[in-house]
Amino acid sequence: MKRNTVPILPLFIFILWGCEKTANIRLKDTEPKLVVEATIENGQAPIVILSRSLNYFSSINPTIIENNFVRFAEIYISNGTKTHRLKEYSKLVGGQVKIYYYSIDTSDLATAFNGELNTTYSLRILSENKEYTATTTIPNLTRRVDSLFWRPAPPGNKPEKVAVYVRAKDQPGFGDYVRYFTKTNSEPFYPGINSVFDDQIIDGISYQIQVERGVDRNTDREDDYVYFNKGDTVTLKLANIDKSTFDFWRTMEFAYANLGNPFSTPTKISGNISNGALGYFGGYAAQFHTIIIPK
């Protein structure tokens, strides 16, 4: 079963708030920076999406989004043995926006490869007379899922709502990081609002925890978005990740959660791309488990 999908690149917006005194701040336009979203997963081809950062007050429409992708870049990925130049592709999303991405060149399979567990990868991007590099690792599977189960949602919720839980075990030794996604019926995989976790509390133990439904951050959410419905088929994608991927999504999601909060602390997004680019190159050691919730 092919599980790889082409994501739409999120827009990276940095906001600095002050609350000690009233001030009139005039935000200046800044030079666009390269934004990189690059991933490689066990058993899947690498995917790289390039775009340019937008200013805070930039207008957003399908034309601007389409024109914001960075095209015609030279991108090379290496697993230490083979080096492969990725090819640019396009895909129509939602019937109105064409996105551009880079992946394996099917005309040159001699050097192509999919992701493998416990393997380190390097990325090299040449675009607009600049070079950018990054490395990531697909780690081993250290967070083992035993089972998924469900319970009725707490009182006060609709009767058709249920909470899904996972039973899992973490191997002994600190330094295991995970990111999770859920797929409901025919929807794509969506990450949770807080999708990354470490093992500071659950190191070396078996545990069970609620799996909140993943969300499309481009749409509004209902108050009970964390729950699923009776009759749903739910697939959990749980992926071990390395520290740099964990740090990127931890800081990214913290900034997203505090967007517009004047009392929040400004957060610097922790990327791993060189030469001042924004974004990340992340490796995912993924496993999948499915539960069918009866009606």
Alpha-carbon separation of residue 123 from 75, 111, 131 (angstroms): 7, 15, 10
Q: Which of 27, 3, 2, 16 is nearest to 255 (CA)?
A: 16
Alpha-carbon separation of residue 33 from 29, 37, 200, 227 (angstroms): 12, 13, 35, 38
Contact present, 144 and 176 (Cβ < 8 Å): no
Contact present, 190 and 216 (Cβ < 8 Å): yes
Query: What is the spatial distance between Cα 196 and Cα 204, in angstroms, rounded to a whole number?
Result: 18
DSSP state of 163: E
DSSP state of 249: H
CB neighbour class for 151 (10 Å; exposed up to 12, middle 13-18, buried from 19): exposed
Token pair in block for residue 58: 């930039």
Q: Would you state the pLDDT for residue 262?
A: 57
Whether the CA torsion 216, 222, 226, 229 is positive or negative: it is: negative
DSSP state of 43: T
| Cross-strand pairs, 134 | 123
Q: Would you state the pLDDT for residue 28?
A: 57
Count of C-beta atoms within a 10 Å radius of residue 223: 6
| Cross-strand pairs, 207 | 168
Q: Would you state the pLDDT for residue 14?
A: 32
Q: Would you state the pLDDT for residue 46?
A: 98
> Which residue is it, tokens 């996604």?
181
Contact present, 76 and 67 (Cβ < 8 Å): no
CB neighbour class for 143 (10 Å; exposed up to 12, middle 13-18, buried from 19): buried
Contact present, 273 and 280 (Cβ < 8 Å): yes
Query: What is the spatial distance between Cα 154 and Cα 163, in angstroms, rounded to a whole number?
Result: 8
Contact present, 245 and 1 (Cβ < 8 Å): no
Q: Rg of the chain over CA atoms, in angstroms?
A: 20
Q: Which of 287, 270, 282, 294 is nearest to 7 (CA)?
A: 282
Per-residue pLDDT of the chain (295 residues), as tens digits, is 445 555 544 433 332 333 334 444 455 567 899 999 999 999 999 999 999 988 766 677 888 889 999 999 999 999 999 999 999 999 998 788 899 999 999 999 999 999 999 999 999 999 999 999 999 999 999 999 999 999 999 999 999 999 999 999 999 999 999 999 999 999 999 999 999 999 999 999 999 999 999 999 888 899 999 999 999 999 999 999 999 999 999 999 998 887 756 555 667 899 999 999 999 999 999 999 999 999 9
